[in-house]
Structure 1
Amino acid sequence: MHHADGEVLGEFLVSARSLAEYRAMFQLSDDDLSGRRILDCPGGAASFTAEASTLGATVTAVDPIYARSTTALAEDAVTENDRAVAWAAANAHRYRWDWYGSPGGHAAIRRGAARRFAADLRAEPHRYIAASLPELPFPDKSFDLTLSSHLLFSYADRLDAEFHLAALHELSRVTDGEARLYPLLDYTGGALDELIGYLRTELRDKGVHTAVRKVRYEFHHGADTMLVLQPTS
């Protein structure tokens, strides 16, 4: 896909997001977290698993990057997160900084999350499963809540509609409650109304009901909604 400004992200970014960011992106309440089985897919270098676990959730993070050795990944998490932070700062015009206060505030949150991720990865490696969509190594209805950010839709320039459909169907399969996906724009901030419409129609035909819900977080301009796959009986 050609971008008019010529800025194309060469590879998938590994970002270190915090529980506070997850709460905002996915409209998470305390009830969403307490005592729930939660899947974070892809987990990246987020500290969500570590932080939500202290609140009583049983969290499983899934990402192909977890196939790396723990030591290498713990070190890479900080380096790769710095690359993601630098991308955001270099493309500051694409973003709204009010939630973070400033690019510096954004960087500080992400650096803290990367360090917490690295510590949890070393202490609780069983929480981090190396796997990737669209096929996950879990039985049906393994999780009460599934969260998925910044893979689907974000990389629509390299993941086609059929990948999206298969991935969403798989997230629905392993989830007993809701699966929530954010954001519904690509990484340049481009709208994806046609893709989302197609996917919602196809999922409905397969018995998966969906909704688009507002969230209280908008980093990319216009990224203030999430897609919710709703539980089927």
Structure 2
Amino acid sequence: MPSDPRSTTGTTAPPNVIGDILVSSRSMTEYSAMFALSPADLRRQILDCPGGTASFTAEVCAAGGDVTACDPVYGQYTADALAALGQRGTERGNRYCRTHSDEYMWTFFTDPEHHSSSRSASGHRFADHHRAHPERYIAGALPRLPFTDERFDLVLSSHFLFSYADRLDLSFHHRAVCELMRVAATEVRIFPLVGMGSNRYPNLEVLRDRLADDGITTEIRSVDYEFQIGGNEMLVCSRDSALSDEQR
């Protein structure tokens, strides 16, 4: 997303051997597990940023919900090209899973074949929905999004922040979370707190302190999902000062 995001501020994260940032295709089922989404959550006005080629928007909208996805790739590729980009991401991510199987728990996905088929199916569903409803897919890149203040009830951000801490520095993370909060009326949920290699984001507490100075309350919540070992927590950000110190 940023033009030159190499880390120069804060603790340096271990190198991320996955290579370029993946464009991933995750399903509504996976999103619901990652973000502990309740039926009430799915009735809220939601932003998925960055949305990649996930089928979350397609599936929630098909069920009568209201989701907008935002990603810089939407302004760069046609629906067919996005489908191909997502499939390449699925194949590259699956190769990584197979060669680094010790970094994963095969509970949500039963095995690498299940992982591959699930992600491929999500990518196809994304492409079909993008062709039919391009207005649901808005081109935009953190840390500056093309939305008005408090535009969405709930903002979800998956596998970008914290996942690429070797190339996205602390300053970028701070600006990005503040921007996600700007467009959120209630809360932002960010998942996971680890990068490739299952390394926890090294500047998390520094970031939380900076966000607190901005009036943003943060809470780490465990979720009933763990694909990457150690990747079973999300960061929940809100303007609700009622959360106790123990929750933060």
Aligned to 1:196: 204
Work out whether residues 193 and 231 of structure 2, in 8 Å CA contact, stay in contact via their aligned partners in 1.
yes
Work out whether residues 17 and 45 of structure 1, in 8 Å CA contact, stay in contact via their aligned partners in 2.
yes
**Count of aligned pairs:** 229
Q: Deviations over 1:26-82 (max 9, x none)?
A: 000111002x21000000110000001122221110111111122322232223322
The residue type equivalent to 2:200 in the other structure is A
C-alpha separation between the residues in 2 aligned to 1:99 and 1:70? 28
1:37 aligns to 2:74 (yes or no): no
Aligned to 1:69: 78
Identify the match of residue 32 of structure 2 among 23, 30, 33.
Answer: 23
C-alpha separation between the residues in 2 aligned to 1:73 and 1:15? 11
Work out whether residues 14 and 84 of structure 1, in 8 Å CA contact, stay in contact via their aligned partners in 2.
no
1:59 aligns to 2:42 (yes or no): no
Query: After superposition, where does 1:59-208 map in structure 2 within 5 Å?
Result: 59-67=67-75, 68-192=77-201, 194-208=202-216
| Greater helix proportion | 1
RMSD, aligned CA: 1.6
Work out whether residues 189 and 236 of structure 2, in 8 Å CA contact, stay in contact via their aligned partners in 1.
yes
C-alpha separation between the residues in 2 aligned to 1:104 and 1:127? 30
TM-score, normalised to structure 1's length? Answer: 0.93
C-alpha separation between the residues in 1 aligned to 2:53 and 2:97? 16
Aligned to 1:221: 229
Consecutive unaligned residues of structure 2, counting only runs of 5 or more, are 1-11, 242-248
Consecutive unaligned residues of structure 1, counting only runs of 5 or more, are none
Query: Measured at CA, do residues 101 and 169 of structure 1 come closer, stay the same or move farther in structure 2, by a change above 3 Å?
Result: same
The residue type equivalent to 1:97 in the other structure is W
Secondary structure at 1:30 match in 2: coil
Work out whether residues 16 and 44 of structure 1, in 8 Å CA contact, stay in contact via their aligned partners in 2.
yes
Work out whether residues 95 and 221 of structure 1, in 8 Å CA contact, stay in contact via their aligned partners in 2.
yes
The residue type equivalent to 2:174 in the other structure is L
Work out whether residues 13 and 165 of structure 2, in 8 Å CA contact, stay in contact via their aligned partners in 1.
no
Q: Which deviates the most, 50-59 or 39-48?
A: 50-59
* Runs of 4+, deviation exceeding 4 Å: none
User: Alpha-carbon deviation of 1:232?
Assistant: 4.7
Q: Which deviates the most, 100-109 or 128-137?
A: 100-109
Secondary structure at 1:114 match in 2: helix
C-alpha separation between the residues in 2 aligned to 1:216 and 1:155? 23
User: Alpha-carbon deviation of 1:7?
Assistant: 6.7
Secondary structure at 2:52 match in 1: coil
